[in-house]
Structure 1
Amino acid sequence: MRENQNTIEVALILQPNAQLSVVYGLIDLFKIAQFCNEKLEADLSTTVRITHWDIAKNGKTFECVFDSQPDSSKASPDFLVIPPTLNQIISSSDAVIWTDWIKRQHEEGAIICSVCTGAFLLAETGLLNGRKATTHWFQANSFQDKFPAVRVDTNKLVIDEGDIVTAGGITAWVDLGLHLTERIFGKAAMLKTAQFMNVDPTGRDQQNYNRFSPKLAHGDENILIVQHWLRKHYIDKTSISDMAEKAGLGERNFIRRFQHVTRLTPTQYLQKLRINQAKDLLELTKKNIEQISWEVGYDDVASFRKVFHKHSGLTPGEYRTKFWVA
């Protein structure tokens, strides 16, 4: 049992090349959350303690290298946050020492959280197997290849599985911090914290930012031929039989192999190619929605709007307002 039931410890681990904006940003966010909670005159007895943990010099144990309440007695963390790395993702061999410790904290009751590519280290523990999780959309294929037992959903910015919380995106530490603020202090304090920081409260989706990155390094040459062909002919009226013929395969065999290596049906894949191009045109040109619809292969503008919203979570007009740079 914890000695101080009103002190909530949020521990961050300093894996190699950890993103420091996450490590230090969460210190500031929880200071602001504490301030906002006090202004609300809510539960003034609850405080957030931030600790940072790293591998000790002996290379076998862990030590606390930062403590926002150094005079307080030590206790197991309530939340353990795994920040992302900005360059090379930690290897499975280097992750071993961390995974054993993370699993031990989970067994002792800590809620395990990850930000962006920190999900790779979390997945190495096996705790994500059979669960839904998110990571940065750019790493979705790599993550799914390495951890097929995890149900990846990079449309979501934060996925809360109760004892496991994952956040996707490089700056999603803000969204995770606000999410944890709500769990610790309540919704009113979370909203006040978001307002104070001039950021949107939790609830936004990573789907708005996703760009399709086709999986090409799969080794199936017949399917790769079709992928390269579709990249040039995505605006054409293309049928499954056309694709199968291009691959030199029967239709059923083509569909099976295509889905196996891309994790998409041929129709879904073609839609994603078209929506990617539409996003480019919305961001970089002043062409109207009807023109863009035709240029990416949709004769029916209403159908284009429906498919665009399905893949981006925004209407074409909303997307242009948010991302137009021309």
Structure 2
Amino acid sequence: MHSARSAGGPPRVAILAFAETSASVLYGMHDFFHAAGRDWGLIEHGTPGPSLMASVVVSADGTPLTVANGVRVCPDCRLDALAEPDLVCIPELAVVPTEPLGARFDAECAWLRDAYAGGAVIASACSGALLMAQAGLLDGEAATTHWAFCGALAERFPEVRVQCQRSLVVAGDGQRLVMAGGGTTWQDLALYLIARFAGVEAAMQLARVNLIDWHHVGQQPFARLSASRQTDDALIARAQVWAATHYAEPAPVAAMAELTGLSERAFVRRFRQVTGMSPLAYVHAVRIEEAKQMLEATRLPIEAIAEELGYEDASFFSRLFKREVKLTPARYRRKFGDLREVLREAAGHAH
């Protein structure tokens, strides 16, 4: 976790609202922060888990406003009503890149300076970095922003080291300045911040739930078959619980049938009726999910992972994995192992 400032509860997140933004990024981040921890519990256990971050929308005066894309936004409170946020997020700034900001954001800039001086992490999505620069927070620091604003940021704030090619930049005292580039990189930003404040696993879970793919290879790698599908059939539920921890057994279907007291034929028929899949397919699905975790979190050779999962033939495991996930184990590791490393590094910045 990031800070002892929120020792009595989840980290306090303030998302800054102003007329020159859009609702998609503002409420997209708001939703992500509330979903961290909550949605995974719903999918895995049938009951929402606790939200791991407490997010509110704030504005200069706290009154309802219409943002740039015509959506009506109702902030939760005014700036001076939120004491010591742990994290402040600035959505994109919908202005002409060359347009000077003048004094129109003086209240927001003063508040950002105070929050940063008080120990908060300040993060911006897209062109929101302009507001960080206007507040003087980026002087002498590396920064990034939407590609269309990089030139203006460099020209108007020459002390800022603009790194336009990077989609995510972390800088400042204690690595407390975080900037994402344009478009949907606000999703990468939200994942980074969730990893930093709530843990790597929470960020990975949110990525899977929301099908977030940093490299656009498709949705299937994020799909997770729950290893604990909810069922009212006590015998089948008992078999599922057993499979969750004994998936590497050499004859899992026979073992599950014995556990339930049914004949293997009757067990297979009943399991399919309850879950919509065969017991063996279920065990394979559980193994594949465990394989994903091992590929993400360890450097074990693929052959060793296959053996750990109960597959004597590593090539069979690789074919099965590719059929189900649409990526080879090696490609999955490169993709999600790298993502986990980025998020682990983010969590490290909390300390």
TM-score, length-scaled by structure 2: 0.49
Q: Superposition pairs for residues 289-300 of structure 1, below 5 Å?
A: none
Q: Superposition pairs for residues 96-107 of structure 1, below 5 Å?
A: 96-107=106-117
Going from structure 1 to structure 2, the CA distance change for 1:57 and 1:191 (only over 3 Å counts) comes to closer
Identify which of 51, 59, 72 aligns with 2:56. 51
Task: Tell me the C-alpha RMSD between the 2 structures.
Answer: 3.0
> For the residues of structure 1 that align with 2:31 and 2:6, how far apart are their CA atoms?
25
Q: Is the 8 A contact 1:37 1:185 kept in 2?
A: no
* Gaps in structure 2 of 5+ consecutive residues: 64-73, 216-351
Q: Is the 8 A contact 1:114 1:165 kept in 2?
A: yes
> For the residues of structure 2 that align with 1:3 and 1:192, how far apart are their CA atoms?
23
Q: Superposition pairs for residues 1-326 of structure 1, below 5 Å?
A: 2=5, 4-35=7-38, 38=41, 47-56=52-61, 65-66=75-76, 75-88=83-96, 91-161=101-171, 162-200=175-213
- Deviation track 1:207-227 (CA, whole Å, cap 9, x = no partner) reads xxxxxxxxxxxxxxxxxxxxx
- Deviation track 1:156-180 (CA, whole Å, cap 9, x = no partner) reads 1111121100111032211111111
Q: Is the 8 A contact 1:8 1:46 kept in 2?
A: no
> For the residues of structure 2 that align with 1:47 and 1:199, how far apart are their CA atoms?
19
Q: Is the 8 A contact 1:3 1:75 kept in 2?
A: no
Q: Is the 8 A contact 1:18 1:86 kept in 2?
A: yes
Give the partner amino acid of 2:204: L
Going from structure 1 to structure 2, the CA distance change for 1:99 and 1:75 (only over 3 Å counts) comes to closer
Going from structure 1 to structure 2, the CA distance change for 1:201 and 1:77 (only over 3 Å counts) comes to farther
Q: Is the 8 A contact 2:34 2:54 kept in 1?
A: no
- Deviation track 1:263-315 (CA, whole Å, cap 9, x = no partner) reads xxxxxxxxxxxxxxxxxxxxxxxxxxxxxxxxxxxxxxxxxxxxxxxxxxxxx
> For the residues of structure 1 that align with 2:120 and 2:28, how far apart are their CA atoms?
21
Give the partner amino acid of 1:197: N
Q: Is the 8 A contact 2:146 2:182 kept in 1?
A: yes
Going from structure 1 to structure 2, the CA distance change for 1:132 and 1:54 (only over 3 Å counts) comes to same
- Deviation track 1:46-68 (CA, whole Å, cap 9, x = no partner) reads 7311111112279xxxxx9327x
Compute the displacement of 1:4 (Å). Answer: 4.6
Q: Is the 8 A contact 2:20 2:93 kept in 1?
A: yes
Compute the displacement of 1:5 (Å). Answer: 3.2
Which segment drifts farther, 138-147 or 192-201?
A: 192-201
- Deviation track 1:131-183 (CA, whole Å, cap 9, x = no partner) reads 11100112111110001101111111111121100111032211111111111
Give the partner amino acid of 1:50: S
SS of 2:59 mapped into structure 1: strand
> For the residues of structure 2 that align with 1:57 and 1:128, how far apart are their CA atoms?
27
> For the residues of structure 2 that align with 1:38 and 1:102, how far apart are their CA atoms?
34
Q: Is the 8 A contact 2:127 2:181 kept in 1?
A: yes
- Deviation track 1:60-118 (CA, whole Å, cap 9, x = no partner) reads xxxx9327xxxxx9642111011112344671321222211110111111101111111
> For the residues of structure 2 that align with 1:123 and 1:117, how far apart are their CA atoms?
10
Give the partner amino acid of 1:187: V
> For the residues of structure 2 that align with 1:191 and 1:28, how far apart are their CA atoms?
16
Give the partner amino acid of 2:18: Q
Q: Is the 8 A contact 2:33 2:52 kept in 1?
A: no
Give the partner amino acid of 1:105: A
Give the partner amino acid of 2:38: F
Q: Is the 8 A contact 1:7 1:49 kept in 2?
A: yes
Between the two proteins, what is the percent identity of the paired residues?
29
SS of 2:36 mapped into structure 1: helix
Going from structure 1 to structure 2, the CA distance change for 1:135 and 1:3 (only over 3 Å counts) comes to closer
Give the partner amino acid of 2:148: F
Aligned residues: 192
Going from structure 1 to structure 2, the CA distance change for 1:189 and 1:96 (only over 3 Å counts) comes to same
> For the residues of structure 2 that align with 1:47 and 1:57, how far apart are their CA atoms?
25
* Gaps in structure 1 of 5+ consecutive residues: 59-63, 68-72, 203-326
Show structure 1 runs of 4+ deviating over 4 A.
Answer: 1-4, 36-41
Going from structure 1 to structure 2, the CA distance change for 1:137 and 1:169 (only over 3 Å counts) comes to same
